[in-house]
Amino acid sequence: MQKRLEQIHDASMTILEEVGIKLHHPKILEILCRHGVKVVDDTAFFTRDQVMEWVGKTPERFTVYARNPKHNMSIGGDDSEFVGGYGCPNIIEADGQRRSALLADQVKFVKLVQQSDGFRLNGGILAQPSDLTNDQTHMVMTYAAIVYSDKCIMGQTGSCGDVEKIMDVAGIVFGGKEKLAEKPRVVTLVNTLSPLQMDHHALSTLLVHGKYRQPVVFCSGPMGGTTAPMTMAGTMAMGNAETLAAIAIFQMVSPGTPTVMAINAYPADMRTGALSIGSPAHALGVKYCAGLSKMYKLPFRCGGTSTDAKGVTVQSGYESMMTMFISLQEKVNLIIHSAGILDSYAGISYEQFIVDLEIISMIRYYLKDMAINDNTLCLDVIKKVGPGGQFLTHPHTMQNCRKEPWMSELGTPGLLKEGQTPNDAVMEKIRMKLEKMLSAYEKPQLDEIIQTRLDQYLMDHGIDQEFLNAV
């Protein structure tokens, strides 16, 4: 494995030295020139030493601080943290029908993430609201994440002005922008533009996050056969080059600011040209992203419950299980797209969100493995029951039957109701769990002065009080 990783690394270095990466932002090009990077027109060419020197300034591990300290999260090492779906424009209903997402859906998913014990990062674009204008999106969605959750905040990419609005809103909560810069509070996903480019919004986001020393996840998403070579090795080499270049640039802008490496590599389905995130090739990409990141000693992100399924089906189950299993097995530090994703990121589903929570629970139980000691080997119990006996009524069984085995919340171990199909039985349990989570949701407390200042900020930027009340 190590030799394979070194081959990919060497190819990535050759790409950055000889092909370069196109950067659509004049200020970024000026910064690179000042640091001795060769720039021709709008394309930067890094030497191997330049890349690794600046990548090496990235912390191996860091903490993100939430409004409620119990939700603080550590990114790095062997820890795995989860984020819900991201960037989905559509809601896919239980019957497979789809509709454009609304702000109400974003708020509902924020509540579900708040209720999910394993998730400590909330917000971002869980569902892209079609009822918000572009100039409203960043501040309103960040506002919703703060008002309805006290977990760590996921940001969004955009122009410098858009991202400054996110920092304004977060600054109101954490004592001002100068105070905000003292600790990591807002994590944002910034994507490269394959092949070998970064657009103006990505680089603007990088600049603003560097200014306030807030963490960035730099992710390449090369698609084999369309935006990357057809082979997975070539796709990984190019994706790795893009990500390393982005990290090096960020460290030039703000040395030592927390950064997360990500390569989400996929093949294209050459029958249609569509992205295929449910392919086993994507799971293979997770394995190699993990290996490269560990070689560079960088926190990393990849994987998730990835599926190309158009609805909650057997396909959405087996594809999601495959990619999440490898993600947790490889100890991916930050797993975005952990719950709800359908149709190759084109949609998010409330029902699939619940299914994916079950998948995560199953895998974590398996990877935790069994405890083996004098107590768990139960020799005294086995001796007492003896040959031909039974354990059902033994006190040991009664003492451990609710805490030892993993038990499904969605499966159907008993008899079906008369006339009920197996799928109907599972969907009924999914609906029951969804309703239970939402009915149990309690809005976290927010200081009245902060709430007033948040409301006033949004109204000063053109958001009506009536709209805020609806949020």
What is the percentage of the chain residues whose pLDDT exceeds 90? 90
Three-state secondary structure string covering 71-82: HCEEEECCCCEE
Q: What are the tens digits of pLDDT across the range 216-272? A: 999 999 999 999 999 999 999 999 999 999 999 999 999 999 999 999 999 998 888
Mean pLDDT of the chain: 95
- According to the model, what pLDDT value does residue 273 have? 84
pTM: 0.94
Q: Rounded mean pLDDT of 99-115? A: 97
pLDDT of the residue at 465: 80
pLDDT at 470 over 80: no
Share of the chain above pLDDT 70, in %: 100
Domain coordinates in residue numbering, the chain: 2-54, 58-368, 377-403
Confidence of residue 274 (pLDDT cuts 50, 70, 90): confident
Fold of 58-368: TIM Barrel (3.20.20)
Among residues 277, 342, 430, the alpha carbon closest in space to that of 92 is found at: 342
Check whether 303 has a pLDDT greater than 90: yes
Residue 447: its pLDDT value, please? 95
First to last CA, the chain: 50
Confidence of residue 468 (pLDDT cuts 50, 70, 90): confident
Burial of 187 by CB count in 10 Å (0-12 exposed, 13-18 middle, 19+ buried)?
buried
Please compute the mean of the pLDDT values over residues 24-46 and round it to a whole number: 98
pLDDT digits (tens, 9 = 90+) for 175-230: 999 999 999 999 999 999 999 999 999 999 999 999 999 999 999 999 999 999 99
pLDDT at residue 278 is higher than 80:
yes
- Each residue's pLDDT tens digit, 134-181: 889 999 999 999 999 999 999 999 999 999 999 999 999 999 999 999
Q: Does the pLDDT of residue 314 top 90, yes or no?
A: yes
Measure the CA–CA gap between 429 and 422, rounded to whole angstroms.
11
CA geometry: angle 83, 90, 187, nearest 5 deg: 25
Residue 78 confidence (pLDDT): 95
Are residues 243 and 260 in contact, defined by beta-carbon separation less than 8 angstroms?
no
User: Is 263 in contact with 239 (CB distance < 8 Å)?
Assistant: yes
pLDDT in tens, 401-447: 888 889 899 988 878 888 889 888 999 999 999 999 999 999 999 99
Could you write out the three-class secondary structure of the chain?
A: CHHHHHHHHHHHHHHHHHHCEEECCHHHHHHHHHCCCEEECCEEECCHHHHHHHHCCCCCEEEECCCCHHHCEEEECCCCEECCCCCCCEEECCCCCEEECCHHHHHHHHHHHHHCCCECEEECCCCCCCCCCHHHHHHHHHHHHHHHCCCEEECCCCCHHHHHHHHHHHHHHCCCHHHHCCCCCEEEEEECECCCEECHHHHHHHHHHHHHCCCEEEEECCEECCCECCCHHHHHHHHHHHHHHHHHHHHHHCCCCCEEEEECCEEEECCCCEECCCCHHHHHHHHHHHHHHHHHCCCEECCCCCCCCCCCCHHHHHHHHHHHHHHHHCCCCEECCCCCEEHHHCEECHHHHHHHHHHHHHHHHHHHCCCCCHHHHCHHHHHHHCCCCCCCCCHHHHHHCCCCCCCCCCCCCCCCCCCCCHHHHHHHHHHHHHHHHHHHCCCCCCCHHHHHHHHHHHHHCCCCHHHHHHC
